[in-house]
Each structure stands twice: as structure tokens, then as C-alpha cells.
Amino acid sequence: MPKPSPGDERPPRPAGAEAAAGRPRDCGEERPRVPASPPQDLSVSELQEVSDEMYKLTLAHEIVLNGDFKLQMGNFSPFSLENRVKETLHKAFWDNLKEQISASPPNYTQAIQLLQEIKEALLSLLLPRHNRLQSRIEEALDMELIRQEAEHGVLDICGLTTYILDTMAMLCAPVRDEEVQGLQSLTDPAQLFREIFRVLDLMKMDMLNFSIQSLRPHLRDHSIQYERKKFQELLDKLPNSLDHTTEWLREAAAEVSASLSESQPHSAALQGAVGGSPALPSLTAVLNQGYMNLLCWEPGQKEYPETLLMDQARLQEVRAQVNQLATTAAVLLVTSSTCGSALFGSPGFVARLKLVTKVLLEGLSCTRCEEALQDISDQVLQEVSRALSQLGYPALTSDRCASLKGQIKSIADKSNTVWHVIEQRIHLFLSRFISPDGWNSQKDFPKGLDAIQEELQEVGRRFRSVIHHNRRAGVEHILQQFLKSCFSL
């Protein structure tokens, strides 16, 4: 295998980057979903421009907020019509290449075109400082010389593909070593060309994802200004596209106003109140209430605010985690009240109950469903009986067993007091966590939630990161202007 000469650094190999297989010619890159804007008086070209801008904005937002983000090639379903058409066309393409190379004399017209594409792909994987390696690729894959050799019947396809495979082995990420080595056993030129393109596409995707990972801190700094600018531009083009955001803020403003009317007249929360005039809620209070309302958002019942659609999946994940933690804390609380503090103080007992509850709640759309809590009550009772036996304590009576199981199953009831108290305390903690001046609120941890403190703080950090990014990106500033115009706050 040719190696870089002294002074020519070996190109960096992106470690562990994964990507789906496929060529760009096979199917286009799957774009992140972007919200559809309501009908506006825009031309088709203007609508396409808006769609492109939304795609770019969504992509930049995802790269910064999602540390696991990776570009992938879109793939059709194996049984779809699109996939059947693609496979038919590809088979015809590669069969034609095989016929050309197998002809007597061989016809290298199509092969030369593919060699040109391979050359461009290899060069695209190089960094600017790899001048010597670039020169060697240009020399080894001199397209003018290759055409002349083909015209005179002396083109060495086997030698060219061997050089290509050696170069790919030099440039690929370690995760692709096995695939590149596997290409060396292929003897059919048409099949070898096809597999070379497949692996080259994976290598290009690896390099893109490696670049994204390396540049993420730089992108994070610049994405704030970029998102702020693009968001305002889109709002200028589609001024009537925030209907769901309007309703979301209207509900939040009504809740904050109702809360203010119940508080003391001279409370610090009464901003702008003069004499007996009604107090107006602060813009920050309305926005914070709106963010907290997203933790109670029922999918399918309301449309999500347009301004937060890019973060909908993240916020719904936080909502699901909050519900799971509330259920877990409720299970621990009713179990503790039934079994006593002595049992809960035994090493590892609380951790086992948390694990049992988490496993049985994992992946459920409704974390308070009766079926899950039935299984949880059975498993909790088993853990309690095992722990009592190990510690030498008497077993629970049948009445206490029935009471414990009944209390756990009742958590599914929407009117369950224990669950609601815990949910309110979690929401209070998170509301302080996301407030601009509440970064140290985790020190004042709510009572009764000690068992889930670590998990709750992690959820709070995820929730705060989304909200904080929206604040820094200027979206909140735009929403405040929007609030003023809509509600005269």
C-alpha cells in the first residue's frame, strides 16, 4: 500500500463515525422535518426559498443541540415502489458496465466516467494540507492518460482499482477497514466498481460527521447569530404563521394573570401595577409559564407552537421523563409510608425499587397506565418481601400487602393526591431551574424527591439547555415583541 512520503502527513481518520450505506445517486439525503407554514401570498419560488431556509435553520439547530447528531443517507423501504424502481435502474446500469468491459475489444467509456467520479471522491476526502497526496492521486488517476490508454487498448483496470483500494484504506476511518479489505476479494470489475462507490459514500459521510463533531463548539458560537437572523427573516416573510404560538402564549398569559390576581397587591410579581389598576404579568413570567406548560402538553390534542417545533422531540422527551420520575417518586413514597424508614435505609433497597419501576415504565406512551402500575406493584411487593426476609423483619400482613398494591395501582388515577403533589414539586423545581436568575435553584431541593434528585437534576439540565439556547438565539426576544403586539403587555 502506498504511504505518504516524509513530510506529507497522513490524513486524520475520523474515529467511530457511523453512517447509513448508500450512494447520493441511490437516494437523496433525508432532510430533518421542518414545520409546514400556513398558506401565504407567496409564489412557488418564494415558498421553496422559505422551505430551504427552514431546512438550513433546523439543521443548524439540531447540530448544536443534539450532541449525537449525525448525517445519514436516506433509504427507501425495501418493499416500496421507489426501491424497486431504484434497484431496476441500478441493475441495468451495472449490467451495462459489465457488458462494456467484457466486450471484445473492451469498451471503457462508462468505466472512465466512473474513474473520474472516484478520483473526485478521493480528493474530497483530503484536507488542504495534504498537497503531496493530492498530487499523487492526480498523477495516478490522470484522466487524459487513462483515455489515451483506453484508445490504444492498454488500460490496466486492475492496476487502477488496486491503487484506489490502497488509497481508500489509507483514508478511511478505522470502522471502515474491514469493508475496504473485503473489496480486495472481488474479481468482477462491475461489482467492484459498485462496491467502491458504496464504501466511498460511507467514507464521505464519516468525514462529514467527524467534521461536524470537531467544529461543534465553533458552530455553537456562531449558530446563535445565525438562528436569530434567520428566525427574524422567516417571521418577516410569514408574519401570520404563528397562530399556534399565539394560542400557547395566550393561555400562559391568562394563567399568570390569574395567579397574580390571587397574590398580594404589593407582591414583587406585580410589575407595572399602579394604584388600583390591574397588574400586568411580566413578559418573562408569561414565557416561563409557557415553557412549563409544554411539560403537560398532550400530543394530538393541540398543535405545538411553531416557534418551538424544532425542539418538540426534545421537549416531549423531557415531558416523558418528568412523568416517569413523578411516578417513580410516588411509588417510593407510598412504599416508604407502608414499610417504614428502617427498610428504606437498607443498602441498595431504594435503588432496586427505582430500577424495577424504570424498567416497567420504559417506552410507555402513558407512564401512569394501570397495566404498568399493576406489574410495578407486584414487583415492589416481591422486593419488599425479599428485603424484610434478609433483614430478619416479620413479613407484611395480607392486609398491608393489599393496601400497598392498591396504593401503587391508584397512582394511575388522575385524581391521585400523592402523584399530583409530587408533580407540582417537580414542576416548581424545573420552573426555578429554567428561570434566568434561578441557576442555583437545585440547592433548594423539594422535600420528598431526594430519591430521584440525581435524575431530576439531569432532566432539569436538558430542559434548561433547550430553553437557554432559545433565549440566546434571540427567539425569546422576538416572542417578547410578539407578546407586546398581541396582548399589549
215 and 316 share one domain? no
In a domain, 465, yes or no: yes
| DSSP state letters, 431-475 | HHHHSTT-TTGGGSPPTT-GGGHHHHHHHHHHHHHHHHHHHHTTH
Single-letter code of the amino acid located at 60: A
Q: What is the pLDDT of residue 272?
A: 46
Domain assignment present for residue 10? The answer is: no
Residue 172 placed within a domain: yes
Residue 177 lies in a domain: yes
Give the per-residue pLDDT at 235.
74
Check residue 264 and give its pLDDT.
52
Predicted pLDDT at 192? 94
Q: Other CB atoms closer than 10 Å to residue 486's CB: what's the count?
A: 15
Q: Counting Cβ atoms within 10 Å, is residue 346 exposed (0-12), middle (13-18) or buried (19+)?
A: middle
Domain stop point among 188, 221, 254: 221
Is the full-model pTM beyond 0.75?
A: no
Under 8 Å CB-to-CB from 474, ≥6 apart: which residues? 224, 227, 228, 231, 232
Q: Which of 176, 203, 221 is the last residue of a domain?
A: 221
Contacts for 486 with CB less than 8 Å, ≥ 6 apart: 246, 249, 250
Same domain for 313 and 411, yes or no, is yes
What's the farthest any 2 CA atoms get from each other in the chain? 100
Q: What is the DSSP letter of 13?
A: -
- Is 470 within the bounds of a domain? yes
Cα atoms in the Cβ-side hemisphere of radius 13 Å centred on 86: 17
Residue 131, domain member (yes or no): yes
Same-domain status, 66 and 202: yes
- Note whether 253 and 489 are within 8 A (CB): yes
Which phi-psi region, left, alpha or beta, contains residue 125 (left: φ > 0; alpha: ψ -120 to 50)?
alpha
Tell me, yes or no, whether 292 lies in a domain: no
Q: Which of 221, 249, 269 is the last residue of a domain?
A: 221
Cis peptide before 105 (omega within 30 of 0): yes
> Does residue 23 contact residue 66 with C-beta atoms inside 8 Å?
no
Question: Would you say residue 30 lies in a domain?
Answer: no
**Position of cell 425499587?**
353
SS3 (DSSP) at 299? strand
Is 172 exposed, middle or buried (CB count within 10 Å of its CB: 0-12, 13-18, 19+)? buried
pLDDT tens for the chain, residues 1 to 489: 444 443 444 444 444 333 333 333 333 334 444 444 444 566 666 666 666 667 777 777 777 777 777 777 777 777 888 788 888 888 899 999 999 998 888 999 999 999 999 999 999 998 888 889 999 999 999 999 999 999 988 899 999 999 999 999 999 989 899 999 999 999 899 999 999 999 999 999 898 888 888 777 777 767 777 777 777 777 777 777 778 888 888 888 888 888 887 765 544 444 444 444 455 677 788 888 989 999 888 777 788 888 788 888 889 889 989 988 999 999 999 998 888 777 887 888 888 998 988 888 886 655 457 778 888 999 999 989 988 888 888 888 899 899 999 999 888 887 889 988 999 999 989 988 887 665 554 556 788 888 898 999 899 988 988 888 777 665 555 666 666 666 555
Element of type H or E holding 356: helix 349-361
Domain residues for the domain of 440 are 306-479
d(CA 381, CA 402): 10
> What backbone torsions phi and psi does residue 52 show, to the nearest 5 degrees?
-65, -40
| Sign of torsion over alpha carbons 297, 299, 304, 309 | positive
Indicate the number of domains in the chain: 2
CA-wise closest residue to 327 among 446, 428, 453, 452? 452
Q: Is the dihedral of CA 106, 111, 113, 116 positive or negative?
A: negative
Distance linking the first and last C-alpha atoms of the chain: 71
